[in-house]
Amino acid sequence: MQLTRLYLRNYRVYEDELDLALPPGLVGIYGANGTGKSYLLESVLWTLFGRTRTDKRDVRTSGVNAECVTEVEFEHEGHLYLVRRTITGVNSTVKAEAHADRLQVAEGITDTRTYVHSILGMDDAAFRASVFAEQKQLTAFSLQAPNERKKLVLQLLGITPLDAARDLVRKDARLTQEQFKRTRELLPDLTGLEAAAVDAEQRALTAEAAVAPLEHELADFRKRLEAAQTRADDLDGVGREYESLTAEGRGVRAEHDRAAQRVAALAEEVAALDAGAARLVSLEPDAAGLSAAETRLRLVEALTEAERKVAQLTVGDEPPPADDAGHDAARAAADDAREALADVGGRLSAAVADASRARDAVDRSKELSGEADCPVCGQALGDAFEQVQAHREAEVAQAEERTRTLQSERVALAATAEAAEARARELAAELKAAQQARTVWEKRRDKHVEAEAARAEALTRLDPPPVDGEEEGLAAEVARRRQAAEECRRLEGRLERRSTARQELESERERLAGAAGRLETLREKVRALAFKPDDLVVARAARAEAAAAADEASSRAQAAQLEATQARAQAQAAADRLADGRAQHERIVEVGEEARHLGRTAELMGTFRNTVVGTVGPRLSAQAAELFAELTDHEYDDLQVDPETYEIRIVDRGVEYGMDRFSGSETDLANLALRVAISEHVRFQSGGAVGLLVLDEVFGSLDPDRKARMLMALERLRGRFRQVLVVTHDADIKEELPHAIEVVETTPRRATARVVAG
């Protein structure tokens, strides 16, 4: 068997797609600790057999819900095989299929595992024991205690299940022997059981014989009950017919009474409708003149209302027109006075400012002297200093005089402007009052004209003209005629039912006659029955008495039957106990035979297990010695494996030595030879020929010399195996091997792999 290709996607740390072609021969798989080297090889076991050291939900890459796909392609005995396994869905559903020479040959988990087993000739346990070798297994051969070393070798060889089977048979033999002893102590006394069974059978026969007379007595009472029941049933039938006729009679009587009441009510209603028809004829002439009377009344009322409005609306004298021109002149005079006042105010402000500047100039000139220079032109003042002082004083006096004059003028103009404004307001109020008075007069005049026109129109529409007191008479006439018209409408509505009421009256009279006839017929039927309720009471009492006697006889018969049944059950129970006791006596013999058989089987299985172990030891020793000689170029005489403890001993120049005498290199090679011998023995036992070896961390912490010796040994193993995969964390190993695969971490908890040498 040679692995040719490995495909992973969403498998453990290999989230991204990994399609890895595996070289033949000796191949090193290296990378830092924890990157995923072991996962790479575990994927082979998972894909081929569906076995994993964790839950299947942990096989898929953590945090990824996409489909997990693994494929292993390998060449074996001239054929190319491919096995694919997938995990899908939230429930981690596993699917598997197998292909041979590109044709699908198996599908499903069970069928695929069975097919792989048939190709390789071994199941998953044998495959792992023969193909996978770990560093802890190699060092255990030379470092562990004899018992632990022996346990490991037997476990790898698949002999441990024989130990378990032997122990299980021994346990079953011991338990069966204990059961035999307990059962024998609890066996019942057959003589006592036989006597009890005979006595119970006699009691049952006696109880069963007492049942027959009571059953005959019960049959007689039941015949009497049947006769009484027949008599009572007959009278019950007549009574039910009697009750039915009387109930029907009550219903017909109620129908007759309702029909009679309905006939009386309808006759009264028809009479009232006939009277209403006569009343309608008498009211129709009075109701016919209602429209004309209402029209005349509305016209008279309109004329009266128009005359009232004409009398109420007095126009009065026309007011004089408003004085718009006087108001406009007063407003213009007020505006002129305000403009003049504003002009004087402006000139006054300018004069005040001039006076202020003149006083400032006087104040500054006081600070000068005749010897100082002019602050404006920079020349010396000299004799002109007094002239400057006098000029500044004159300017102040002029400015103050002009200010006083303008203030007096502003006071006068303010009084004039106030008087003009008051006159303008007064004229404006008079103008508004005149305009309002004119508007009121014009409205009164227009309403008066409208009222006159309405009165004239009302007089035109009235023909003949109204007379005094006509309005009150018309109002009374309209009320009378309106009442007559309303009563006519009500009568007309009621008279619509006149014909229907007559038809209903005739129908009810017919129904009344029919009910009277049916009532008489029912009376005749009741008289024909000649039923007497007292006869039914007597028959029912006789039936109850017969039923009570039959029940009492039935109770006696049932009690006897129950007693007989219980006696028969007790007899059967006694017979069953007797049969069970006999069966127990027979079964104790079988249990004793089974206990002896299991004991003998346990002895044979122990002998068989010891025979297997005894034959394995020499064969392992011969196979390991042959491989050890090959790995060491026959440097030593022999390598021997103790058949009991599986301790390795090396014969050097005719003397046998323990492993503690030799260097680490010889120890490593001896351990490797024994592990490979175990793998070959497992393949021999299973009948398969895999040709594949996986060594996990066999270099460990070897020094350079031991590492070189181990590499040389691995090279020589290529003659025994088509493909040897060596897993190590030592990156330098790639330089020593013909082919190497590097496993690198891409992100935390994610990795990939690639071929780096070949």
What structural domains does the chain harbor? Answer: 1-121+690-758 (3.40.50.300), 289-314+466-496 (no CATH), 324-461 (1.10.287.510)
Q: Are 256 and 512 in contact (CB under 8 A)?
A: yes
Contacts of 626 (CB under 8 A, 6+ apart): none
- Residues of the chain short of pLDDT 50, as ranges, are none
For the four alpha carbons of 634, 638, 643 and 648, in that order, the dihedral sign comes to negative
Reference 130, options 694, 703, 737; nearest CA is 694
CA gap 657, 548 in Å, rounded: 110
Is the backbone of residue 709 left (phi > 0), alpha (psi -120 to 50) or beta? alpha
Q: Are 510 and 199 in contact (CB under 8 A)?
A: no
**pLDDT digits 0-9 by tens, 150-205:** 666 666 666 666 677 777 877 887 887 777 777 766 667 778 878 888 888 888 88
**Tokens representing residue 690 in the block:** 């895999």
What pLDDT score does 368 carry?
62
* Neighbouring C-beta atoms of residue 101, cutoff 10 Å: 10
Q: Distances in Å between the alpha carbon of 255 and those of 346, 506, 700?
A: 121, 16, 117
Pairing state between β 739-747 and 25-30: parallel
CA gap 67, 8 in Å, rounded: 11
CA gap 350, 356 in Å, rounded: 10
**Helix, strand, or coil (residue 382):** coil
CA distance between the termini of the chain: 20
What pLDDT score does 138 carry?
57
**Tokens representing residue 715 in the block:** 């090279």
What pLDDT score does 48 carry?
93
CA gap 47, 81 in Å, rounded: 12
CA gap 543, 537 in Å, rounded: 10
Rg (CA), the chain: 70
What pLDDT score does 291 carry?
81
CA gap 318, 438 in Å, rounded: 8
**pLDDT digits 0-9 by tens, 424-455:** 888 788 778 887 887 888 788 788 788 778 77
What pLDDT score does 126 carry?
67
Reference 491, options 279, 717, 700, 679; nearest CA is 279
Contacts of 253 (CB under 8 A, 6+ apart): 519
CA gap 85, 59 in Å, rounded: 11
Pairing state between β 79-88 and 93-100: antiparallel
